[in-house]
Structure 1
């Protein structure tokens, strides 16, 4: 019980081993730019360096996107992200592995058998969250194809409890970012200490909050806020289009689940069309606070609709999609 409380604020964590082969590194900065957190910085020579801040040893989500976007194979990673104790204890096996849909147990690399998979399977395994976008606008016809894929997602009672707001005006996207960051920076600065210390009052506050708001108190999202703040409040990575997804709060059963299925249909369709996407909920959470009510109304969000997430959409800058390692969830078989 004591350990559970002790590890509630800035818990002790094991991070993957990230390495940069300087002989291979071209110093293109793609890994630095694509990292969703402030988990990489550049040294005096321009080489990427894994870092942490605000009491965190490192700021890595183990997403492997830095490896996927590296054009020379210079970025390398090994091992899982793991929290041993407390409310944020990792519930995974710590077994990092490449896609293995054919049950080959790693005896053949993914590239050797990917052609044996269906196009849908390849899109699933190779899709990566894209944060490097070209300035090229996405044609309206392609956006409509992405939306249409969402329309045909299954939902409880065929209720289709969702609505889309498509924004291609860059000034409008920037306004959403800046409004959201006012709230996000407040909570990030409250949570983290720049000197990395853990004051007693913060430990007590966030330990208590973690018991009733465990989903909100995980430290990892704050690393993304730090990255956005250092990048001129950029949350949407300068994407040419953004789709906000809203749920009908009167929807049958579980409209959040239905919306998630719909969003995944859209993302997979987008990547199969040669586009890149990134799920972004960081900007959505502040819209639920009372002080954002008037701004939310300006976006056309009124009851019974509530924003759940959004999708950054555009043409990827360079190669983004690639098969990477993932940790393994626990599986119980009842036969």
Structure 2
């Protein structure tokens, strides 16, 4: 019983992806360092990419953006996130290894140039879309934002309820204020879910750190009630965000779009909102823009007066997601690997 609780709080039998840097290729441009959402990388004294040793590997989410943004193809990522036992066990749910897109069954595609003419333009956008965290400073023209919103407007919704509403923010000071408020609220998350010794950017997650007695009581309950918020990768990532005063959760993107939804929507807001925003995201990338979903906007839930008086968010609407938007800085054209699809087929007649 005790072991089960320990594995719920922080699974012990875990493996993570490994980042390998090819020194001969690394140019020291630093794009990987800036693009890593968990800040796992740094440039050493020789101007080569390295693990920064400030954070445990448990923060890596295997997004592979460091690899995708490297112009010299100096980064290789091997392995996958796997948990071998307990509540978080997943090593029997995936077929290893992850693979590149293979829509034609002719071998994986590693970049846009390798995508043959047999693929539709829509497919190429889907496979080439990355969560962009490197943006140019120039503002996104209003007409391009309009085209994104129009694409979202024509997304399907349950009962054709079309519950969405948008707030487009192009004021840097306001974006910065939202960033600060969210980070302050998210600090509550790390204080609840991590040992106190880990709430410091300069400490790399001392393996000997211990959870407080009250954390050992509430964490199993939180894991059961809200597993998506208490996954060890989430806890490590949020700690990265809140412990670094220079971390900007919107990555200094020039435009921020908040998606609101009428909470009375037919069938709930989650599916409709996701479909709508993905229409907008794919349109943005087709137009040469970059985007990044930012779920950490949930931090504004602890700032009801700000939401109401500054942003104008009032019932029956609620903020469901944020989208950073801007022109990507540099070329980000490499495809990434993903878990193999889990599919059950039923063909023909049942006998």
Question: TM-score w.r.t. structure 2 length?
Answer: 0.88
Secondary structure in 2 aligned to 1:115?
A: coil
Contact 2:194/2:211 (<8 A) preserved:
no
Distance 1:173 1:163, change over 3 A: same
Contact 2:39/2:240 (8 A) holds in 1: yes
1:63 paired with 2:44, answer: no
Q: Classify 1:81/1:51 alpha carbon distance in 2 versus 1 (closer, same or farther; 3 Å).
A: farther
Count of aligned residue pairs for this structure pair: 330
Among residues 253, 256, 260, which one is paired with 1:246 in the alignment?
260
Which deviates the most, 42-51 or 129-138?
42-51
Q: Tell me the CA shift for residue 203 of structure 1.
A: 3.4
Match of 1:308 in 2: 320
Q: Which residue of 2 aligns with 1:15?
A: 16
Distance in 1 (alpha carbons) for counterparts of 2:116 and 2:87: 38
Q: Which runs of 5+ in 2 are unaligned?
A: 199-205
Q: Distance in 1 between matches of 2:85 and 2:99?
A: 24
Could you tell me which residue of structure 2 aligns to residue 173 of structure 1? Answer: 175
CA displacement at 1:51 relative to structure 2: 5.3
| 1:52 Cα deviation after fit | 6.3
Deviation per CA, 1:226-265, whole angstroms, max 9, x where unpaired? 4434252411000000100111111111321001000000
Q: Note the residue ranges of structure 1 that are not aligned, 5 or more in a row.
A: none
SS at match of 2:116: helix
* Closer, same or farther: CA 51–191 of 1 in aligned 2, 3 Å: farther
Q: Is the CA contact 2:294–2:322 (under 8 Å) kept in the aligned structure 1?
A: yes
- Alignment root-mean-square deviation, CA: 2.0
| Distance in 1 of aligned mates of 2:87 and 2:283 | 36
Between the aligned partners of 1:275 and 1:113, the Cα distance in structure 2 is 20
In the alignment, which of 215, 218, 236 is matched to residue 228 of structure 2?
Answer: 215
Question: What secondary structure is seen at the aligned counterpart in 2 of 1:250?
Answer: coil
Say if 1:37 and 1:224, in contact at 8 Å, map to a contact too: yes
Q: Would the aligned equivalents of 1:127 and 1:322 in 2 still touch at CA under 8 Å?
A: no
Distance 1:67 1:57, change over 3 A: closer
Matches within 5 A, 1:156-195: 156-193=158-195, 194=198, 195=206
Match for 1:319 among 331, 337, 340? 331
Paired with 2:58 and 2:47, the residues of 1 have a C-alpha distance of 19
The 8 Å contact of residues 59 and 232 in structure 2, kept in 1 or not, is answered as: no
Give the conservation status (yes or no) of the 8 Å contact 2:152–2:277: yes
The equivalent position to 2:307 in structure 1, one of 293, 296, 320, is 296
- Indicate conservation of the 8 Å contact 2:152/2:279, yes or no: yes
Alignment of 1:23-102 (within 5 A): 23-50=24-51, 56-90=56-90, 91-102=93-104
Residues 112 and 142 of structure 1, relative CA distance in 2, 3 Å threshold: closer
Contact kept, 8 Å, 2:82 with 2:89, in 1: the verdict is yes
Question: 1:334 deviation in Å?
Answer: 1.9
1:176–1:93 CA distance, 2 compared to 1 (3 A): same
Partners of 1:103 and 1:302 in 2: CA distance: 49
Compute the TM-score of the two structures, normalised by the length of structure 1.
Answer: 0.92
**Partner residue of 1:130?**
132
Displacement after TM superposition at 1:158 (Å): 1.2
Q: Is the 8 A contact 1:52 1:58 kept in 2?
A: no
Query: Partners in 1 of 2:274 and 2:123 — Cα distance?
Result: 19
| 2:344 corresponding residue in structure 1 | 332
Change (3 A) 1:315 1:109: closer
Deviates more, 1:127-136 or 1:316-325: 316-325
- Label 1:122 to 1:190 Cα distance change in 2 as closer, same or farther (>3 A): same
| Aligned mates of 1:165, 1:78 — CA distance in 2 | 40
